[in-house]
Structure 1
Amino acid sequence: MKKLLSILAILVLFSCEEQKQQADLIVTNANIYTVDEAFSKAEAFAVKDGKFVAVGTSEAILSSYESDSIVDAKEQVITPGLIDAHCHFLNLGLGLNQVDLMGTKSYEEVVQRVVDFQKEKNLEYILGRGWDQNDWEDKSFPNKAKLDTLFPDTPIALTRVDGHAILANQAALDLGKVNIDSKIDGGELLAENDKLTGVLIDNAESLVMNYWPISTKKEAIKALLDAQDKCFGLGLTTVNDAGLSIEAINLIDSLQQSGDLKMRVYAMASATQKNLDYFIGRGIIKTDYLNVCSFKFYADGALGSRGAMLRDPYSDKPGHFGLLVNDIKTLKETAQRIANSEYQMNTHAIGDSANHAVLDTYKEVLNGKPNRRWKIEHAQIVSQEDFPKFNDIIPSVQPTHATSDMYWAEDRVGAERIKGAYAFKDLLNQYGKVALGTDFPVERVNPMLTFYAAVARQDLEQYPDGGFQMENALSREEALRGMTIWAAYSNFEDHEKGSIEVGKFADFIILDKDIVTVEAVDIPNTKVVETYVGGEKQ
């Protein structure tokens, strides 16, 4: 009898083993923030065919699933793969082969970096990016004279950190036959003593850049793959590229189809007439890796170059209101056309005047059209009476802009308007969600800096003491949601990504610190141990 019972017990155990389901990957012994509706925790999950098929305790997962690939996370933190809700992915890659001017402390340092770069590269045309005169002791805009002397025959275009101004030497100006009499709507050419300084703001950049050699397909492919490597290393699994051409989007699609590009891309097509005709005619384009469902429109320029459109003059430049990159008529016509299609509209608006105009236009054209999830990108300075208008408009904001601009922003807009600037919590309270991004390469790519700026609102030296306008800081849960599920929601992708839940893509990252509980000062030092897309380690 005892022998029979033993045999039966063995048979039962064997039967249980046979009932285990096969998974492609099992992760156990982890500290998982699922970022589901309840912000619940878990210990383990199983992945099959690129998606989560079970989430729970290690014991429960291992009793129901088996796999040839089992990862013991050793109690490390796991979150959903991070989503950068506003960046310039292709430009990041292209910029890796340009003069890096980030962090320069003077114009002299800018010039020296160009000289050193050209000694190494010996190029026919020189591009650079990252200078910010607000970081210099002399905060006036630079002048091209030194570049003209050093590089009389080599065109040079050095883009300001925000992308809304360039410094062009005379050889570059000559490409477009630019002179003191040149003019363009939505742009400004700076001059001193009736001579061009070489600084071209907003649309004026095109007077030179329209004549600049276009990147080759080979260069663009390398740029995308280089950008992918950098972003995967920092935990990004989806990027929202804000403003792409037809050719760039088609190239991204082809690289994804071939398996070379595994980054998921939410591609905002630039809202040109050519692009509107092309994409609206084809309808939304959606694969597991590419989502083309939106257009990027520019309302105004940037605050740092005084191109942001304000309702009252700049506090540090009387009589100057900024620039509308596109006029109100174009804004309304474009918005109406997009509203009549399936597409979203995502509009760059920095100044309070630009935000006011965009909000009112959105309300007008979307009347009776619910759940369109249109976004305002940046929403940087908002009039107090305009905050309630975000009740059905998604604010897509970049926390590191606050900590980059806080040293001089009040000088630009004054003590009263600054109360409505970088107001992430106020915007969250209106819509109920905020999508968080970096705007890289305007800011650094690292999403840990986004998280840190959102919750601590300090720079890396912990300035200012106590944080910048802390009434608008986000909680750590809100910041993580803004970088995952809320960003996915803003892309109409919350059903497939943004949280660790059954049925969603198995995009996740492993961290060496718990960003939800660690001391704030340690957040920027958090490293991404591993990044997975669709259950595959990148």
Structure 2
Amino acid sequence: MNKVEELVRDSYTLDDYREFMMNSMKYAASLGVTTVGFVSVDLKSLQSLIMIERELGNLPVRVRAYLNPFDHGIDIIELLRQLGIRAGFGSQYLRINGIKVIADGSLGARTAWLSRPYNDDPGNSGRPNYSFDELMSIARRSSEAGLQLAIHGIGDKMVEVILDIYGKLGDAQVLRHRIEHASVLREDLVRRIRELGIVLAVQPHFVISDWWVVDRVGADRARYVYPFKTLINNGVMLGFSTDAPVESLNPWKTVYAAVTRGCYEGIELCKYTENEKVSLIDALHYYTYGSAYLLREENELGRLEPGYLADFIIIDKDPLSVSDKELRNIKILETYVGGQRIYPWK
């Protein structure tokens, strides 16, 4: 599939990418998303965004880019270092934040790296995509270049290795290095995350989508899967997100999943982790301020207060006055970025 994807991507022109990016940003705005953490960004995507901003003055929504470490043989970390581009470089609408690394696979494909074999595949514990030394080199060079790391780690063994690497770097809190997903977390890993000050980008809708997850990890490890309330209680900063296009970009589906934990859908994980449900107030907080914190912009984004950027939405229902079942049905009426209405389009 990597070969196919590469051939397809190379067949598109920069104008094609410009159209893709505009459609994507308009779609995000229609769902009330005013800032996007765009990960695994290739150079052509970045070029097209720069082109759109130059033509329009502003992008329809704010984009924070996390680039691939390598792109068509180009060492992106070294390129950014030589150019002096560090985390936060750019405008209020388009910024380069750092580097995204996919360090292991997924629970669905049984390629996420677990410390013990899969319950439904006893000879398999998943695998890392990089050796320790390779991942350490990428992380060290990114950190020295002043770039924020966003490392995809789903299995508990992979999270353990990422924490070892962040611990060796010594400046994880300064650049606010992240772990993406952190799906399976033993208690000792939660403590280490808190002690190192690592922030997590988590996707609550996985709780519903990964309806088979208890089969993968077994009932004895089910309590380690997506332990959002435990993380909050331990003072870990979370940013709620979607992992779109893997999941729907609609934030209210994510809020619904965080609050209800798949119990209405009969998700088996709910039987073991109902205590990991979060309150609606917490879900909204970690989706707004928490996500801004992960982007290192909590002093500009994520709150409706004087001095913050005027990014806000108008919705058809008050989420605090509807039942938790109704949360996923909330509709966006208007979206504003920088005080300007960007949806519906004028």
Do they superpose with TM above 0.5? yes
Structure number with higher strand proportion = 1
Q: CA deviation at 1:207?
A: 4.0
CA distance in 1, matches of 2:27, 2:218: 38
Show the counterpart of 1:49.
Answer: none
Structure 2 residue 336 is the aligned partner of structure 1 residue 537? no
- Does residue 1:253 correspond to 2:50, yes or no? yes
**In structure 1, which of residues 195, 210, 220 is the aligned counterpart of residue 6 of structure 2?**
210
SS at match of 1:435: strand
Q: Structure 1 residue runs of 4+, over 4 Å off?
A: 464-468
- Determine if the alignment matches structure 1 residue 404 to structure 2 residue 209: yes
- The whole-number CA distance in structure 2 between the counterparts of 1:487 and 1:213 is 29
SS in 1 for 2:38: strand
Please say if residues 213 and 269 of structure 2, whose CA atoms lie closer than 8 Å, have aligned partners that are also in contact.
no
Distance 2:303 2:9 in 1: 42
Deviations 1:331-356 (A, max 9, x none): 11111112222111110001111111
Whether 1:219 and 2:5 are equivalent positions in the alignment is no
Q: CA deviation at 1:281?
A: 2.4
State the distance in 1 between where 2:234 and 2:137 align.
Answer: 27
The answer to whether the aligner puts 1:305 opposite 2:102 as a matched pair is: no
- The number of residues matched between the two structures is 331
Aligned equivalents of 2:43, 2:268: Cα separation in 1: 46
Equivalent AA in structure 2 for residue 328 of structure 1: F
> Contact 1:511–1:528 at 8 Å: present in 2 too?
yes
Asked if the contact 1:395/1:427 (under 8 Å) is kept, the reply is: no
Aligned runs of 1:58-77 on 2, under 5 Å? none
Which amino acid is 1:532 matched to? Y
The residue number in structure 1 matching 2:163 is 359
- Aligned counterpart in structure 1 of residue 81 of structure 2, from 280, 289, 298: 280
Q: How does 1:382-401 map to 2 (within 5 A)?
A: 382-391=185-194, 392-401=197-206
Unaligned residue ranges in structure 2 (runs of 5+): none
Q: Which has the larger radius of gyration?
A: 1
After superposition, the C-alpha distances for 1:478-526 in whole angstroms (9 at most, x for unaligned) are: 1111111111111111111111111211100011111133100111111
Q: 1:220 to 1:207 in 2, by over 3 A?
A: closer
Q: Would you say 1:515 and 2:298 are equivalent positions?
A: no
Matched letter for residue 242 of structure 1? V
Contact 2:261/2:277 (CA < 8 Å) preserved in 1?
yes
1:330 Cα deviation after fit: 0.8
Q: What does residue 65 of structure 1 align with?
A: none
Matched to 1:403, the amino acid is I
1:426 Cα deviation after fit: 1.7
Counterparts of 1:219 and 1:537 in 2: how far apart (Å)? 26
Label 1:209 to 1:262 Cα distance change in 2 as closer, same or farther (>3 A). closer
Q: Tell whether 2:297 aligns with 1:493.
A: yes
Does the 8 A contact of 2:29 with 2:60 survive in 1?
A: no
The higher-RCO structure (CA 8 Å, 6+ apart) is: 1
User: CA separation in 2, counterparts of 1:211 and 1:334?
Assistant: 26
Alpha-carbon distance change, 208 to 511 in structure 1, aligned in 2, over 3 angstroms: closer
Q: Distance in 1 between matches of 2:337 and 2:283?
A: 21
RMSD of Structure 2 on Structure 1 (CA): 1.9
How far the C-alpha of 1:363 sits from its partner, in A, is 1.0
Partner of 1:509, secondary structure, is strand
**Conserved 8 A contact 1:399-1:437:** yes
Query: Contact 1:390–1:427 at 8 Å: present in 2 too?
Result: no
Q: Normalising to structure 1: TM-score of the pair?
A: 0.59
- Counterpart residue type for residue 140 of structure 2: Q
Identity percentage of aligned residues: 31
Kept in 2, the 8 Å contact 1:435–1:490? The answer is yes
User: Is this contact kept in 2: 1:309–1:323, CA < 8 A?
Assistant: yes
- Greater fraction of residues in helix: 2
Pick from 184, 200, 203 the counterpart of residue 381 of structure 1: 184
Matches of 1:267 and 1:304, distance apart in 2: 27
Q: 1:503 matched to which residue of 2?
A: 307
How far has the Cα of 1:429 moved from its partner?
2.7
C-alpha deviation, 1:464, in angstroms = 4.4
Query: How far apart in 2 are the matches of 1:229 and 1:213?
Result: 21
One-letter amino acid matched to 1:476: L
Q: Does 1:344 align with 2:148?
A: yes
Matched, 1:237 2:34: yes
1:373/1:393 contact within 8 Å kept: yes
Conserved 8 A contact 2:14-2:44: no
The answer (yes or no) to whether the contact 1:245–1:275 under 8 Å persists in 2 is no
Contact 2:114 2:155 in 1 (8 A): yes
Matches of 1:207 and 1:531 in 2, distance apart? 38
The one-letter amino acid of 1:382's match is: L
